[in-house]
Structure 1
Amino acid sequence: MKINPAPFRLAQTVVIGLALALSIAVLGTAAHTLAVFNKQQTVNPWWLYFWPQHYNVSGTKALIGSAAAVTVLSIIYLVFALVPQAVQRHTARALVALATILPSLLVTLITVIFAHILNNNAPEYDTIQTWTCRYKDSRPLQRGLPTDMGNDNFGQLCMESRFSVYGTLTVFLLLGIGMVMSIVTWVAEKWEARRVRKEGEIDGMQS
């Protein structure tokens, strides 16, 4: 039976490319929410600057680190996978996929679980997500305050915080698909190489 590994390789590359693009988006949104928090925490009364120990931003930092790691590892894989010489090195491609996708899978899974645990600690301890989502629809007594003195941007921060968590979960799922595709691609490549080798041996015997 003849198997064409090219579609499998293409599908794997597309999946990892999507994971890379989404990781970059998660990195940007998570970094933005943390930057706003750090900038406003000591001046915006909506952040309760007299009670800084109430907030736990470790989850946001973990999301940033996770997205950065996945971005770097995905780029490494894509650079290797798109090199023409690597197409013929089936085992090498599979090993590179294992060395880049597996750590990304573990990092994203741990990060999503960690962020979920921290979010469940509210209201005893709040994260950027739980705090901004709780008060995004509340309005200060004095309208028209600057964004760094009110909660006008809490709606956007809430949305970005949620996107960071669910985006990381989606990246995990994409990486899982990418890992499965790596195995399927390697099996297809080895099967096809074996078939071609056997046909060559038969042709040699017949000639």
Structure 2
Amino acid sequence: MKINPAPLHLAQTIVIGLSFALAVATLGTAAHTLDVFNKQQSSNPWWLPLWPQHFDVRGTKAIIGSATTSLVLSLVFLVFALVPTFRLKEKHTLRALVALGTALPSSLVALVTVIYVHILNNDAPELDTIQTWTCKYKNSQPLQQDIVLPSNMGNGNFKSLCTQSQFALYGTLTVFLLLGVSMGLTIVTWLADKWAARQSRKEMEVASQQS
């Protein structure tokens, strides 16, 4: 039976490309929510500036770190896989090692981050994260005399921040799942490459014997 590994190579590249794109989006949303918190936490009464120690932003920082790790390592694989100079299509074992060496650390970091953020979110209301706080008050209305306050003095953007922080968390989880799929594809692709190379050698031996 003859196997064509090319579709598996393409699928592997697409999956890692998707994880790269999602890591970029996750990094952007997490960084934005943290930036808004840092800018408004000392001035916006909805962030309770008199009680700053109530907020725990370690989870958001962990997501930023995880997304950065996934982004960089996924990009490393894509460069090695797509730049013809490296000729990874012809170096089956090296391609598999590069794929596993970039996906495995990223997936472990993403998994630990998801668990860590989930634990921090469960500490509310004793300690609130950006996600738990903005989602809690995203639909709350200020007192009548506060309606005319500037946009950075209310909770008008809490709904957006809630959605973005949730996206960052579930985006990290999705990156972990995509990297898991990519590792499975890596093993299958390596086996297919080895099988195809073996069949090609057999065909060459048969052709040489017949000639």
TM-score between the two structures when normalised by the length of structure 1: 0.98
Alignment match, 2:2: 2
Q: Secondary structure at the match of 1:12?
A: helix
List runs of 5+ in structure 1 lacking aligned partners. none
Q: For residues 72 and 174 of structure 2, what CA distance do their matches in structure 1 show?
A: 17
Alignment match, 1:71: 71
List runs of 5+ in structure 2 lacking aligned partners. none
Q: Which amino acid aligns with 1:174?
A: L
Equivalent residue in structure 1 for 2:173, among 159, 164, 169 = 169
Q: 1:102-145, CA deviations, whole angstroms, 9 ceiling, x for partnerless residues?
A: 00110100000000000000001000000000000001112132
Alignment match, 1:116: 118
Q: For residues 32 and 134 of structure 1, what CA distance do their matches in structure 2 show?
A: 19
Q: Which amino acid aligns with 1:69?
A: T
Q: For residues 40 and 142 of structure 2, what CA distance do their matches in structure 1 show?
A: 16
Q: Secondary structure at the match of 1:125?
A: coil
Q: Is 1:40 the equivalent of 2:43?
A: no
Offset at 1:148? 1.6
Runs in 1 of length 4+ with deviation above 6 angstroms?
none
Offset at 1:146? 1.5
Alignment match, 1:51: 51
Equivalent residue in structure 1 for 2:131, among 129, 132, 137 = 129
Count of residue pairs brought into register by the alignment: 207
Q: 1:171-204, CA deviations, whole angstroms, 9 ceiling, x for partnerless residues?
A: 1111111111111111000000011111212222
Q: For residues 178 and 167 of structure 1, what CA distance do their matches in structure 2 show?
A: 16
Percent of aligned pairs sharing the same letter: 66
Q: Which amino acid aligns with 2:27?
A: L
Q: Is 1:106 the equivalent of 2:108?
A: yes
Q: Secondary structure at the match of 2:43?
A: coil
Q: How big is the alpha-carbon RMSD for the aligned residues of Structure 1 and Structure 2? A: 0.8
Equivalent residue in structure 1 for 2:96, among 94, 97, 109 = 94
Q: Secondary structure at the match of 1:121?
A: coil
Offset at 1:206? 2.7
Offset at 1:75? 0.5
Q: Which amino acid aligns with 1:32?
A: H
Q: 1:47-105, CA deviations, whole angstroms, 9 ceiling, x for partnerless residues?
A: 11111111100000000000011000000000001123221111110010011000011
Alignment match, 1:201: 205
Equivalent residue in structure 1 for 2:156, among 152, 158, 177 = 152
Q: Is 1:140 the equivalent of 2:152?
A: no
